[in-house]
Chains A and B, each alone.
Chain A
Amino acid sequence: SQQGEEDPQALSIQEGENATMNCSYKTSINNLQWYRQNSGRGLVHLILIRSNEREKHSGRLRVTLDTSKKSSSLLITASRAADTASYFCATARNSGNTPLVFGKGTRLSVIA
């Protein structure tokens, strides 16, 4: 069964605007990761945040984690048309090599 849910399920914004996607999960975790998927095929790892971290940045990406609420958010600043994709959060119960539990994803459309 899926760990949790992302919201919104779909998001449409204008180029240059910021996009915020949220993820909730159900069990304790070691880390939470965000992945991007283009055209329903392979996923690309974007960023990882550990359970003892609250915020992390990578380029135009900002991830927050609130373990008390079992939730995370991904912010993409100054969005571009090329950011159009599906974004998934995934949780890992343990450190190291371990299967991930994915949410259902947010479909982001950035309109030029």
Chain B
Amino acid sequence: GAGVSQSPSNKVTEKGKDVELRCDPISGHTALYWYRQSLGQGLEFLIYFQGNSAPDKSGLPSDRFSAERTGGSVSTLTIQRTQQEDSAVYLCASSSYDRALRETQYFGPGTRLLVL
């Protein structure tokens, strides 16, 4: 009955380095979403996975950002050659395919990324 988990909780990196952020969705949830929240801003959609379908990458801000979802469960968001403007909280959410529940997204605690 665990919720969505994300790791690491906090990540400090140097400009130009690559980072990987991990998301473990709620077991059985077929949909997985990544969002980004910059300081004092709302959430910005990045990428969405639904089952085995091709992901919706329409929110990725540049080709430095990519994400994978292995085995329909765990997802990794990778940011290559990080820039200072990538500093933000990266939030992952999942939702069920159950008709009665699929519009509710369950969020993880987020990864706070700081690029120096």
Chain B residues within 8 Å of A40, by CB: 37, 89, 110
Q: Once bound together, how far apart are the Cα atoms of A99 and B105, in whole Å?
A: 9
**Which residues of chain B are within 8 angstroms of A88 by Cβ–Cβ distance?**
42-43
> Known: A97-B50, A103-B42, A104-B42. Contact between A43 and B107, CB under 8 A?
yes
Q: How many residues does chain B have at the interface if contact means C-beta atoms less than 8 Å apart?
A: 30
Interface size class of A (residues with CB under 8 A): 20 to 34
How many Å from the CB of A106 to the closest CB on chain B?
11
- Check if A42 sits within 8 Å of B104, measured CB to CB: no
- CB B57 to nearest CB in A, in angstroms, measures 11
Within the complex, which residue of A2, A43, A95, A105 is in contact with B91, where a contact is CB–CB below 8 Å? Answer: A43
- Which of B4, B31, B104, B108 is in CB contact (< 8 Å) with A45? B104
Cβ-closest chain A residue relative to B37: A40
Find chain A residues with CB under 8 A from B31 CB.
97
Q: Knowing A88-B42, A104-B41, A105-B42 are in contact, say whether A99-B56 is a contact too (CB < 8 A).
A: yes
B26 to chain A: closest CB distance in Å? 13
Q: Is the CB of A41 within 8 A of B109?
A: yes
Most B CB contacts (10 A, CB to CB) among A42, A45, A92, A104 go to: A42
- B105 near A45 (CB under 8 angstroms)? yes
**List of A residues within 8 angstroms of B50 by Cβ:** 97
Is the CB–CB distance between B48 and A99 below 8 Å?
yes
Cα A97 to Cα B97 with chains together (Å): 7
Q: How far is A98 from B108 in the complex, measured between Cα atoms in Å?
A: 17
Inter-chain contacts of B40 with A (CB < 8 A): 104
* CB pairs A–B below 8 angstroms (20 shown): A2-B42, A31-B103, A33-B103, A40-B37, A41-B89, A42-B109, A43-B91, A43-B107, A45-B106, A48-B103, A90-B43, A92-B103, A96-B103, A97-B48, A97-B102, A98-B48, A99-B33, A102-B43, A104-B41, A104-B42
